[in-house]
Amino acid sequence: MQDSEDEQGHSDDNVFVTLVAGVIQTPRVPRPLGHNAYQTGIYRTLGRVLRNVTSEKLDSTMSDFVRFSHFAHVRMGTQLYMEFVNVCTNTILHLVCARRTGAHIVRRLMEIISGYAQNQADHLALAWRRFTPSYSPVGGMTPVMLVAHNRQFDALKILLQYGMLERERRPSYVIISLLFDSPCLEEEEEEERNLCCDSLMRELKACMALCFRVLIHVSIAEIEMQIIYGQQPLIAEWRDHIPHNRSRDPCELSHLCRAVIRRRLLVLGRLPNGINALFLPRCLQSYLNLEY
């Protein structure tokens, strides 16, 4: 009874309940069209909420999402619920991660959802998701791939500290994306597209160096294969920016130790906060947390 009262008490001001009523149920969408018929409406509605969201507003929105995910399947039915939550998840990730000035928002999002990240099947394990909506030009990307693609150094560092590169199916592919793909930014950030070439190159090289604080090995053959297939690297001297101990020489022992410790903390769900609990000098804690 209490759960029912809580549900009723939150439903009037829950943005996701409002979305169901306004975007999906009114007017009723013919079911054969599936989620493609209403995902644009969800994107626009959440866009108004999240476009310039503050940390406090993000807390409120994610609290709505958590409450909604716990009871909505009863009212909506399993299929519609799964479709709707998937579109909402993609939209939240896209709007938060595509902002070049939103690194603090990315950090807050990771703080909120990190507790759910251990279970990939959990609807709230947003960090595992790939972007799939048809309105997005980044279909198939993960949050790490998107922020790396857009050269968002600060946001990328936050995601890497939370172990999101280690979670990638092919972690080294982020280097290929950095080398061959030009940034794809939000429409309202058109001025960012006109950054001078030198600035873009500095961002690219900085993001690559940051990823090498996590990666143990990068395949030069895979990069060369992209060139054989006709792609041109954005850095002509790209070989000079791949450390020898990440490609052809043995990896340094200190980095291997860092990788093993971070992997263990990741499995335990204690990355990055568990680093500070280790009985290590502050400089080594900073090293584990990818500060250098």
Q: Give the confidence band of 122 by pLDDT, cuts at 50, 70, 90.
A: low
State pTM to two decimals: 0.82
Neighbour count for residue 237 (Cβ, 10 Å): 7
Helix 220-228 × helix 173-180 angle, to 10°: 40
Q: How confident is the model at residue 8 (pLDDT cuts 50, 70, 90)?
A: very low
Residue carrying structure tokens 């041109």: 232
| 221-252: pLDDT as tens digits | 999 999 999 999 999 899 999 999 999 899 99
Query: Is the link from the previous residue into 27 a cis peptide, with omega within 30 of 0?
Result: yes
At residue 178, the pLDDT reads 93
Lowest mean pLDDT among 44-48, 58-62, 216-220: 44-48
